[in-house]
Amino acid sequence: MTGAKKYSVVREKLSEWYDENKRDYPWRKTTNMYRILITEILLQKTIASNVNNIYDEFFKKYKDFSAIHGASINSLQSDIKSLGLSNKRSKILKDLSKLVLTEYKGRIPEDSGDLKKVTGIGDYVCNAYACVALNKRTFFSDVNIKRIIERVFEAPDLKKEKDFVKKKLNELLPSTDCKHFYWGLLDYGSKICTKRTPKCDVCQIAKNCATFSKI
Protein backbone atom coordinates (compact mmCIF):
# COMPACT_ATOMS: atom_id res chain seq x y z
CA MET A 1 0.00 0.00 0.00
CA THR A 2 1.40 3.39 -0.97
CA GLY A 3 0.42 7.02 -1.21
CA ALA A 4 -2.44 8.80 0.53
CA LYS A 5 -4.21 5.53 1.38
CA LYS A 6 -1.28 4.31 3.47
CA TYR A 7 -1.09 7.54 5.45
CA SER A 8 -4.82 7.38 6.07
CA VAL A 9 -4.77 3.77 7.26
CA VAL A 10 -1.73 4.26 9.51
CA ARG A 11 -3.25 7.42 10.98
CA GLU A 12 -6.55 5.68 11.70
CA LYS A 13 -5.00 2.56 13.24
CA LEU A 14 -2.61 4.52 15.46
CA SER A 15 -5.45 6.78 16.63
CA GLU A 16 -7.64 3.78 17.46
CA TRP A 17 -4.80 2.13 19.38
CA TYR A 18 -4.14 5.33 21.34
CA ASP A 19 -7.79 5.66 22.34
CA GLU A 20 -7.60 2.23 23.97
CA ASN A 21 -4.05 2.28 25.32
CA LYS A 22 -3.07 5.87 26.13
CA ARG A 23 -0.78 6.46 29.07
CA ASP A 24 -2.25 8.51 31.91
CA TYR A 25 -0.06 11.50 32.67
CA PRO A 26 -1.12 14.69 34.51
CA TRP A 27 0.48 17.00 31.94
CA ARG A 28 -1.84 15.60 29.30
CA LYS A 29 -4.84 16.80 31.28
CA THR A 30 -3.88 20.42 31.93
CA THR A 31 -4.43 23.52 29.81
CA ASN A 32 -2.08 25.58 31.97
CA MET A 33 0.50 26.96 29.54
CA TYR A 34 3.15 27.42 32.21
CA ARG A 35 2.88 23.78 33.26
CA ILE A 36 2.88 22.56 29.66
CA LEU A 37 6.04 24.49 28.78
CA ILE A 38 7.94 23.57 31.94
CA THR A 39 6.95 19.92 31.54
CA GLU A 40 8.32 19.81 27.99
CA ILE A 41 11.67 20.93 29.40
CA LEU A 42 11.51 18.38 32.21
CA LEU A 43 10.72 15.60 29.70
CA GLN A 44 13.82 16.23 27.61
CA LYS A 45 16.34 13.36 27.74
CA THR A 46 14.56 11.40 30.45
CA ILE A 47 11.72 8.90 30.61
CA ALA A 48 8.17 10.07 31.22
CA SER A 49 7.78 8.04 34.41
CA ASN A 50 10.62 10.04 36.01
CA VAL A 51 8.75 13.28 35.37
CA ASN A 52 5.52 11.70 36.55
CA ASN A 53 7.16 10.85 39.87
CA ILE A 54 8.03 14.47 40.68
CA TYR A 55 5.25 16.29 38.80
CA ASP A 56 2.85 17.05 41.67
CA GLU A 57 5.52 18.05 44.18
CA PHE A 58 7.40 20.15 41.62
CA PHE A 59 4.41 22.26 40.65
CA LYS A 60 3.22 22.52 44.24
CA LYS A 61 6.53 24.21 45.03
CA TYR A 62 7.07 26.03 41.73
CA LYS A 63 3.63 27.45 40.96
CA ASP A 64 4.84 29.99 38.40
CA PHE A 65 7.90 31.53 36.76
CA SER A 66 8.44 33.79 39.77
CA ALA A 67 8.84 30.78 42.03
CA ILE A 68 11.50 29.29 39.77
CA HIS A 69 13.24 32.64 39.38
CA GLY A 70 13.33 33.19 43.14
CA ALA A 71 14.57 29.71 44.02
CA SER A 72 18.23 28.98 44.58
CA ILE A 73 19.92 27.04 41.80
CA ASN A 74 20.96 24.38 44.33
CA SER A 75 17.39 23.88 45.49
CA LEU A 76 16.12 23.58 41.94
CA GLN A 77 18.86 21.12 41.04
CA SER A 78 17.99 18.99 44.06
CA ASP A 79 14.29 18.93 43.19
CA ILE A 80 14.89 17.66 39.65
CA LYS A 81 17.94 15.51 40.35
CA SER A 82 16.07 12.28 39.59
CA LEU A 83 15.55 13.39 35.98
CA GLY A 84 19.25 13.58 35.23
CA LEU A 85 21.13 16.54 33.75
CA SER A 86 19.96 18.60 36.71
CA ASN A 87 22.67 21.26 36.32
CA LYS A 88 21.84 21.94 32.69
CA ARG A 89 18.09 21.60 33.14
CA SER A 90 17.93 23.90 36.15
CA LYS A 91 19.89 26.59 34.29
CA ILE A 92 17.42 26.39 31.39
CA LEU A 93 14.51 26.77 33.81
CA LYS A 94 16.15 29.72 35.56
CA ASP A 95 17.07 31.46 32.30
CA LEU A 96 13.59 30.87 30.88
CA SER A 97 11.95 32.31 33.97
CA LYS A 98 14.17 35.38 33.80
CA LEU A 99 13.35 35.86 30.11
CA VAL A 100 9.60 35.58 30.62
CA LEU A 101 9.56 37.86 33.66
CA THR A 102 11.87 40.57 32.33
CA GLU A 103 11.10 40.66 28.61
CA TYR A 104 7.50 39.44 28.43
CA LYS A 105 5.99 40.74 31.69
CA GLY A 106 5.45 37.27 33.07
CA ARG A 107 3.65 35.88 30.03
CA ILE A 108 5.00 33.22 27.69
CA PRO A 109 5.77 34.87 24.33
CA GLU A 110 3.05 34.45 21.70
CA ASP A 111 5.65 33.36 19.17
CA SER A 112 6.99 30.11 20.61
CA GLY A 113 10.13 30.57 18.51
CA ASP A 114 11.14 33.38 20.87
CA LEU A 115 11.76 30.73 23.51
CA LYS A 116 14.93 29.82 21.65
CA LYS A 117 16.51 32.94 23.09
CA VAL A 118 17.20 30.64 26.03
CA THR A 119 20.27 28.49 25.49
CA GLY A 120 19.18 24.86 25.65
CA ILE A 121 15.69 25.37 24.26
CA GLY A 122 15.45 24.26 20.66
CA ASP A 123 12.90 23.43 18.00
CA TYR A 124 11.51 20.39 19.79
CA VAL A 125 10.43 22.23 22.95
CA CYS A 126 9.15 25.24 20.98
CA ASN A 127 7.12 23.14 18.56
CA ALA A 128 5.87 20.67 21.17
CA TYR A 129 4.69 23.56 23.34
CA ALA A 130 2.99 25.26 20.37
CA CYS A 131 1.21 22.03 19.48
CA VAL A 132 0.07 21.04 22.97
CA ALA A 133 -0.64 24.47 24.47
CA LEU A 134 -1.66 26.47 21.41
CA ASN A 135 -3.20 23.70 19.28
CA LYS A 136 -0.91 24.46 16.35
CA ARG A 137 0.05 21.91 13.70
CA THR A 138 3.79 21.85 14.27
CA PHE A 139 6.50 19.28 13.62
CA PHE A 140 8.73 17.68 16.25
CA SER A 141 10.16 14.23 16.76
CA ASP A 142 11.97 12.34 19.49
CA VAL A 143 13.62 8.93 19.15
CA ASN A 144 10.27 7.13 19.40
CA ILE A 145 8.55 9.18 16.70
CA LYS A 146 11.61 9.08 14.45
CA ARG A 147 11.88 5.30 14.80
CA ILE A 148 8.24 4.67 13.87
CA ILE A 149 8.40 6.95 10.83
CA GLU A 150 11.64 5.44 9.56
CA ARG A 151 10.41 1.87 10.01
CA VAL A 152 6.95 2.33 8.54
CA PHE A 153 7.99 4.44 5.57
CA GLU A 154 11.46 2.94 4.97
CA ALA A 155 13.85 5.81 5.47
CA PRO A 156 16.35 6.48 2.67
CA ASP A 157 19.90 7.68 3.24
CA LEU A 158 19.08 10.32 5.85
CA LYS A 159 22.25 12.25 5.08
CA LYS A 160 20.78 12.95 1.66
CA GLU A 161 17.24 13.55 2.83
CA LYS A 162 17.43 15.30 6.19
CA ASP A 163 13.77 16.36 6.17
CA PHE A 164 12.45 12.81 5.66
CA VAL A 165 10.74 12.54 9.06
CA LYS A 166 9.21 16.01 8.80
CA LYS A 167 7.88 15.29 5.30
CA LYS A 168 6.28 12.05 6.44
CA LEU A 169 4.83 13.69 9.54
CA ASN A 170 3.29 16.37 7.36
CA GLU A 171 1.43 13.68 5.44
CA LEU A 172 0.59 11.60 8.50
CA LEU A 173 -0.61 14.19 11.01
CA PRO A 174 -4.34 14.98 11.11
CA SER A 175 -5.37 18.50 10.17
CA THR A 176 -6.53 19.26 13.73
CA ASP A 177 -6.00 17.94 17.26
CA CYS A 178 -2.41 16.99 16.49
CA LYS A 179 -1.36 16.73 20.12
CA HIS A 180 -3.32 13.53 20.70
CA PHE A 181 -1.80 11.98 17.60
CA TYR A 182 1.68 12.91 18.77
CA TRP A 183 0.96 11.39 22.17
CA GLY A 184 -0.20 8.28 20.34
CA LEU A 185 3.10 8.08 18.46
CA LEU A 186 5.07 8.56 21.67
CA ASP A 187 3.10 5.85 23.47
CA TYR A 188 3.29 3.47 20.51
CA GLY A 189 7.04 3.87 20.29
CA SER A 190 7.34 3.22 24.01
CA LYS A 191 5.02 0.21 24.20
CA ILE A 192 4.93 -1.46 20.76
CA CYS A 193 7.46 -0.16 18.24
CA THR A 194 10.33 -0.34 20.71
CA LYS A 195 14.00 0.02 19.85
CA ARG A 196 15.36 -3.46 20.53
CA THR A 197 12.41 -5.85 20.60
CA PRO A 198 9.48 -4.35 18.71
CA LYS A 199 6.21 -6.22 19.27
CA CYS A 200 5.50 -6.78 15.59
CA ASP A 201 3.15 -9.66 16.39
CA VAL A 202 0.65 -7.29 18.01
CA CYS A 203 1.45 -4.19 15.97
CA GLN A 204 -1.64 -2.56 14.51
CA ILE A 205 0.25 -1.24 11.50
CA ALA A 206 2.57 -4.16 10.76
CA LYS A 207 0.80 -4.86 7.46
CA ASN A 208 1.51 -1.28 6.44
CA CYS A 209 5.11 -1.21 7.66
CA ALA A 210 7.89 -1.24 5.08
CA THR A 211 10.36 -2.73 7.57
CA PHE A 212 8.02 -5.54 8.66
CA SER A 213 7.34 -6.49 5.04
CA LYS A 214 11.00 -7.46 4.71
CA ILE A 215 11.07 -9.78 7.72
In tens, the pLDDT along 6-54 reads 999 999 999 999 999 999 999 999 999 999 999 999 999 999 999 999 9
Of 89, 49, 47, residue with least CA distance to 68: 89
In this model, does residue 158 exceed pLDDT 70? no
Q: For residue 187, what pLDDT is reported? A: 97
Q: Does domain 31-134 have CATH number 1.10.340.30?
A: yes
Question: Is residue 156 very low, low, confident or very high in pLDDT (cuts 50, 70, 90)?
Answer: confident
Q: Are 137 and 177 in contact (CB under 8 A)?
A: no
Q: For residue 213, what pLDDT is reported? A: 85
CA distances from 155 to 2, 43, 193, 210 (A): 14, 26, 15, 9
% of the chain at pLDDT higher than 90: 92
Q: Are 106 and 98 in contact (CB under 8 A)?
A: no
DSSP letter assigned to residue 202:
G
Q: Which residues have C-beta within 8 Å of that of residue 167, sequence separation ≥ 6? A: none
In this model, does residue 2 exceed pLDDT 90? no
Residue ranges of the domains in the chain? Answer: 3-23+139-214, 31-134
Q: For residue 189, what pLDDT is reported? A: 97
Please state which of the ranges 106-110, 149-153, 158-162 shows the lowest mean pLDDT.
158-162
- Judge whether 3-23+139-214 and 31-134 match in fold: no
DSSP letter assigned to residue 209:
-
In tens, the pLDDT along 78-95 reads 999 999 999 999 999 999
Distance between CA atoms of residues 42 and 4, nearest Å: 36
Main-chain dihedrals φ then ψ at residue 93, nearest 5 degrees: -65, -40
Q: For residue 176, what pLDDT is reported? A: 93
Q: Are 42 and 89 in contact (CB under 8 A)?
A: yes
Q: Which CATH code for domain 3-23+139-214?
A: 1.10.1670.10
In tens, the pLDDT along 172-200 reads 999 999 999 999 999 999 999 999 999 99
Q: For residue 159, what pLDDT is reported? A: 64
Burial 43-71 (b: 16+ CB within 10 A, else e): bbeeebeebeebbeebbeebebbeebbeb
